[in-house]
Amino acid sequence: MTRPITVGVDGSPQSRAAAEWAAREAARRGLPLHLVHAWINEPLYAPPVPDEPASRQLLQDHHDEVADRHPGLTISTELLAEMATAGLVEQAAKSELLVMGSRGHGPIAGFLLGSVGLPVITHSTRPVVLVRSGPYGEPTDRAPGEATEGDEIVVGLKDMGEPAATLLEFAFTTASARGAAVRAVRAWGTPSLFGSTPPENLENNDEHLDLQARQGEELVRVLAPWRQRYPGVPVIEHLRYGNAAEVLLDAASVHAALVVTGRRTRRPLLAMRAGPVTHAALHHARTPVAVVPHGD
């Protein structure tokens, strides 16, 4: 059975931007689009009485807006009689990917990762894409200073085994559908000891250069089967010494259409639920961010 691209909507400009991004992606991949709205609010102290007729109208409005812009797209809707977190996680499991809207950027006005966003990301078994809205309600997937979408899918690679394969499969599938390149980003070293770049005496150190060469060879090896599988997708190897989050954000700062990060489904009890690099991307990346779960 064909999995749809599912987007959670709530009537906000951010969810409208998410719906537009999801519609474009569904059209590129030849997939149906599924619009969902959870009409029972998340409880805080005294949850308000939900308004089902208003929720149905909200969902219909989103449907009509998307159908008007994408007349050839197969679109379905569903009103979820449950709270947003549980409903979206359940919908994600049945979807190719789940798309959500969020607001702003920066450490304070970042992605909405509170009562809904973060639990959905950390419990979803499928990729989750978060989309911000621009000043006119459009998705923020434009290259900086340009009127067109970015032409690179930027994927951060840390663990080079099964996790890398999972992230690269998503990145190459997405890049192939939109005619984009894949920029595979690999940060290495212990930059916290020296700052974001190594000092001159380390840059010219034979051991440092040997380690850098081996890191590059490993990156080439991991990318080789994906180059063969997707010969039409340009590949850019982006190997840098430095902090993983800073290297990824820098790589995505020019031509990125989407930033792809990973999330371990099995994490130590006291570990961050989404990982520091994913948190940094969610708060600071200018473009949509895909969080792809993997087993290791």
* Full strand arrangement of the beta sheet holding 5-8: 75-83, 33-40, 5-8, 97-102, 128-132, 289-294, 256-264, 152-156, 181-188, 235-241
Please give the pLDDT value at position 103: 60
CATH 3.40.50.1950 holds for 1-140: no
**From CA 15, how far away is CA 8, in angstroms rounded?**
7
Please give the pLDDT value at position 137: 63
Q: What is the CATH number of domain 146-296?
A: 3.40.50.12370
DSSP conformation letters of 33-51: EEEEEEEEPPPSSSPPPP-
What are the tens digits of pLDDT across the range 19-48? 999 999 999 999 999 999 987 665 554 455
> Which segments of the chain does DSSP mark as H helices, in order?
13-29, 52-69, 84-93, 117-123, 162-178, 200-203, 206-229, 244-251, 276-284
Query: Where along the chain do its domains lie?
Result: 1-140, 146-296
Q: From 143, 112, 124, select the one nearest 12 (Cα to Cα).
A: 112
Q: What is the DSSP letter of 285?
A: -
Query: Model's pTM, two decimal places?
Result: 0.86
pLDDT > 70? residue 211: yes
Backbone torsions φ then ψ of 240, nearest 5 degrees: -140, 145
Q: Is 92 exposed, middle or buried (0-12, 13-18, 19+ CB in 10 A)?
A: buried
What are the tens digits of pLDDT across the range 79-121? 988 778 888 999 999 999 999 987 644 333 333 444 567 788 8
Let me know if the fold of 1-140 is the same as that of 146-296.
yes
Q: From 37, 125, 129, select the one nearest 76 (Cα to Cα).
A: 37
Q: Which residue has the higher pLDDT, 279 or 231?
A: 231
Q: Which residue has the higher pLDDT, 152 or 108?
A: 152
pLDDT > 50? residue 154: yes
pLDDT (average), residues 141-163: 77
**Helix, strand, coil % over all residues of the chain, rounded to 5:** 40, 25, 35
**From CA 33, how far away is CA 5, in angstroms rounded?**
5
pLDDT (average), residues 134-145: 64
